[in-house]
Amino acid sequence: MNIRKWAGVVLTGLVLAACAQAANPAFTVETVKVPGAKSTWVFGINNSRTMVGSYLDGQGKLHGFMLAGRTITAIDDPNAASTYCFAINGGGTVAGYYVDSQFVGHGFLYEGGNFTEVGPPGSLGTQVLGINDAGTISGNFVDSNGVHGFVYDGTTYTTIDVPNAPYTLGGGINNAGLLTEVWLDDEGDSQSALYNGSRFKTINVPSAEDSSAGALNNLGDVVYSWEDASDNYHGALLHGGKYYEFDVPQAARTFGYGINDKHVVVGAYVDANNATLGFAMSF
């Protein structure tokens, strides 16, 4: 296990982003960058504003990290070639996955300095993408029949397949057990749904060519990454039953990944110099 800490994470660039579909809410964006990193992605955030994500170092290795206040902790699974910290719950448990030297994904939970590997029995690869305050996790796995979503309550793994979808990629989970599920259609385009355990409800961004829902909070808000017809990537927020599209100002691409109950969205953007930076956006 390789754990390193830095004080003084770079937090810059308080800017106002225009909402594409309505005047409100107003978006205020703050850049997040791990010191010395070539690239930074922020994937998840809890209500204490502790963030998790991944960064690329100068040697080209991908590490997970946790940001609490202005202190960053680098988190590397001991078996990892690359580590992705994708979600964090209210108790501080981090959920994510690592990729080994054979390019196989393995889900993990990180708590109190310890890693626990998780994944459906017999899976050929697992990605954990969400965790709620009860410790229930969500994500996807690969087996001999394809790619499936799953949910795990600490005792039982439940497979989730969107009807008629060639691939189900999973998504986030909130405290009510409501899930976002992303799947690929027959043309290879991403589609998104809410899943309550018995029913799928499509929630695609209206103008999207590809619509990938990320995390959802306990208020029913959902954050997205989506692609338009010109292959440009943007963020979006489903809030109060309305869709709000957003771009970090001057960004070439914007990706939305995580959200908490305090009206903060996190993600990453590509700037004009082709550098990838994380962001935290209040709305």
**What pLDDT digit, counting tens, does each position of 39-69 carry?**
999 999 999 999 999 999 999 999 999 999 9
Q: Which residue has the higher pLDDT, 78 or 3?
A: 78
User: What single letter denotes the amino acid at residue 171?
Assistant: G
pLDDT band at residue 14, thresholds of 50, 70 and 90?
very low
Residue-level pLDDT at 2: 46
**What pLDDT digit, counting tens, does each position of 181-218 carry?**
999 999 999 999 999 999 999 999 998 999 999 999 99
- Pair 77, 108: CB distance under 8 Å: yes
Shortest CA distance to 226 belongs to which of 251, 201, 209, 203?
209
Structural domains for the chain: 2-282 (2.120.10.30)
Residue-level pLDDT at 17: 42
SS (H, E, C) 30-63: EEEECCCCCEEEEEEECCCCCEEEEEECCCCCEE
pLDDT at residue 1 greater than cutoff 50: no
Whole-number percent of the chain with pLDDT over 90: 90
**What pLDDT digit, counting tens, does each position of 228-252 carry?**
999 999 999 999 999 999 999 999 9
pLDDT band at residue 26, thresholds of 50, 70 and 90?
confident
Q: What are the structure tokens assigned to 271, written together?
A: 């700037």
Residue-level pLDDT at 24: 57
Whole-number percent of the chain with pLDDT over 70: 92
Shortest CA distance to 278 belongs to which of 45, 73, 26?
45
pTM over 0.85: yes
Residue-level pLDDT at 273: 92
Mean pLDDT taken over the chain: 93
pLDDT at residue 21 greater than cutoff 60: no
